[in-house]
Amino acid sequence: MKTLKYMFAAFAAMSIGTGFVSCSEDDDTPNHVTDPVESYHFDLLVSVGATTGMSSTGVTSTLIRSVSIDELSNPDAEITLKGIGADVSNDINAESIIKGKYYYEASPLKNTYFGKYTVSNTGVEPVARHEFATNSFLERQYTHAWIANDTLVFIGANRSVNRKSKYSDNEIMWTKLVDGDALSVKTEGKLDLTAATKKYCNEDVNAFCTSGLATYRKSDNTIIYCYTDASTKPVKGFFIAFVDATTMQIKNVYHETRVDEMAGTAYGELQQDKMFFDDNQNLYIACGTQIPESEKDSQQYGSLVRVNDKKMEADASYLGINEEAFGKILTADYIGNNKCVLYVTNPAKAGLVAENIIYEGGWGQNSFNSFYYIYDIASNTYTELSYDGATLPASCGSFTDRVATLGGKAYIGVNPEEAKYGSPRIYVYDSKTGTVSLGARLEAGFYFNRLSVVEQ
């Protein structure tokens, strides 16, 4: 572990040329934290010179900085990292599970165990570790769900390389890990999705996406697991498996064909929030459909699929947004009051390409091509976030999650083009009043990658 004082000579040389909503320990409802807000602080994962993520260049380190609610909300504050915070690049991935005051990972930085940590301005401190048992998981190649407060379920497609698992390539493994002062493997096994997909959907699928998306629905003790066909000629759409959380038996599989895929097939929700529950326990899944005649299948427009509480299929009467001109949904974070924040890539809107079927020059990780919207679930309408009469500037960073929600407010990190708009800044949206206020600025030369709510 390195404290920041050891890296600022490198930062100075570079600068010349140059996310998740946590859950309370006492509440197992997904995407929800409880008052009082004073019981929480924010962890900021930032990088130097560029945003982190897949295929990023120019990034030297992942840095952690913990800040109070008052500091993050203060428009006159500048969040500095000189002498405050730590470089955690050699200790933990940004793609981690955060719950309460702890971070969790499977195979952190290519190790062979599950890990539980505390993270602060002084660095990463291990709390507990447990070696893999039968099932092993590759770094960042899994998804997860919490059952109550003490059981963490890891789910991922088996891969033969570097595995000691007994299952065949592409079978879906699961491991239940008991949380607490120590970690222990409770039970583990596999989901026979090849047979279940054929049984319930009459589709032959035996190649699965790496991670998919998973969450736990408390009302009927069900794990909802979303996956896609990863074969060379994939079946259209994606599948939603409903799994008894006690027995891990599959109760139903639903085939969603109105979209191409859910918004996250790899990395689970380790770095970005792709699903949320509303106040009535209806689940919303961010999805994408390839833009007709576009050059790559990653060029998509977004929509939201809903699974109503206690149902074992998607709601056929609802498909949120689903407009080609809207852009690709990257993250979806529920605030409350039937509203969520959507982070959306739209290169054409940013003026980078003539139309979104063109890839080069517009769709990159470090292009300033993404925007924030407030989506109203009840009316199926959206409004672009603005402050003082002007919409927020376009942001860079497609593999980030810079939205943290707490107490009915969304704290949103914007990474703008610095020469035009200054260094990255926090904006605060109040879901009750519909107003936006200014928050703190980040020190120049740094970029927001993830904002998380963490218990004190």
| CA 152 – CA 40 distance, rounded (Å) | 22
293: left (phi over 0), alpha (psi -120 to 50) or beta: left
Q: Which helix (H) or strand (E) holds 440?
A: strand 435-442
Rounded CA-CA distance 263/328 in Å is: 9
3 to 64, 68, 86, 285, 456: CA distances (angstroms): 10, 20, 4, 38, 21
pLDDT value of position 202:
97
b or e along 46-85 (b: 16 or more beta carbons within 10 Å of the residue's beta carbon)? Answer: bbbbbbbbeebeebebbbbbbbebebbbbeeeebebeebb
Tell me the C-alpha distance between 182 and 178, whole Å. Answer: 8
Contact 414, 425 (CB under 8 A): yes
Task: Note the pLDDT tens digit of each residue in 139-166.
Answer: 889 999 999 889 999 999 886 555 555 6
CA 288 and chain centroid, separation: 15
Separation in Å, CA 104 to CA 73, 95, 116, 261, 281: 27, 10, 5, 27, 25
pLDDT, one tens digit per residue, over 97-123 is 999 999 999 998 888 999 999 999 899
Instruction: Give yes or no for residue 443 having a pLDDT over 50.
Output: yes
pLDDT tier at 171, thresholds 50, 70, 90: confident
> Confidence band (pLDDT; 50, 70, 90) for 7?
very low
**Stretch 413-437: mean pLDDT:** 95
Tell me if 48 sits within 8 A of 12, measured CB to CB.
no
How far is it, in rounded angstroms, from Cα 99 to Cα 218?
17
Which residues is 47 bridged to in the sheet?
A: 62, 447
DSSP 33: -
What is the C-alpha separation between 168 and 171, in angstroms, rounded? 6
Q: Count of alpha carbons within 13 Å of 403, Cβ hemisphere only?
A: 29
- The pLDDT confidence band at residue 12, using thresholds 50, 70 and 90, is very low
User: Looking at residues 29-53, what average pLDDT do you find?
Assistant: 70
Average pLDDT, the chain: 88
Pick from 124-138, 283-297, 345-359: least confident? 124-138
Q: For residue 362, give the nearest of 347, 384, 379 by alpha carbon.
A: 347
344 within 8 A of 412, measured Cβ to Cβ: no
Count, in order, helices (H) and strands (E) of the chain: 4, 33
Considering only the C-alpha atoms of the chain, give the largest distance between any 2 of them, rounded to a whole number of Å.
61
**Backbone φ and ψ of 122, nearest 5°:** -100, -5
Question: By three-state DSSP, how is residue 333 classified?
Answer: strand
Asked if 151 and 201 count as a contact pair (C-beta separation under 8 A), the reply is no
Query: Token pair of 128, please?
Result: 């507990």
Task: For residue 368, give both structure tokens.
Answer: 């300033």
229-282 pLDDT, tens digit per residue, is 998 889 999 999 999 999 999 999 999 999 999 999 988 999 899 999 999 999
User: Residue 183 to residues 130, 142, 180: CA-CA distances in angstroms?
Assistant: 6, 18, 6
Query: How many alpha carbons fall within 13 Å on the CB side of residue 452?
Result: 35
Residue 132 DSSP symbol:
-
Question: Given CA atoms 84, 89, 94, 97 in this order, what sign does their dihedral have?
Answer: negative
pLDDT band at 37 (very low <50, low <70, confident <90, very high): confident
Per-residue pLDDT at 89 exceeds 90: no
Is pLDDT of 19 > 80? no
Strand partners, 243: 223, 250
* Interacting residues of 211 by C-beta distance below 8 A, sequence separation 6+: 141, 142, 143, 155, 156, 157, 264, 265, 266, 267, 268
Of residues 356 and 38, the one with the higher pLDDT is 356
Greater pLDDT, 18 or 254 = 254
Handedness of CA 245, 247, 251, 257 (dihedral sign): positive
> What is the C-alpha to C-alpha distance for residues 96 and 138, in angstroms, rounded to an integer?
13
Q: Which pTM value belongs to this model? A: 0.90
The residue to which tokens 């000629």 are assigned: 233
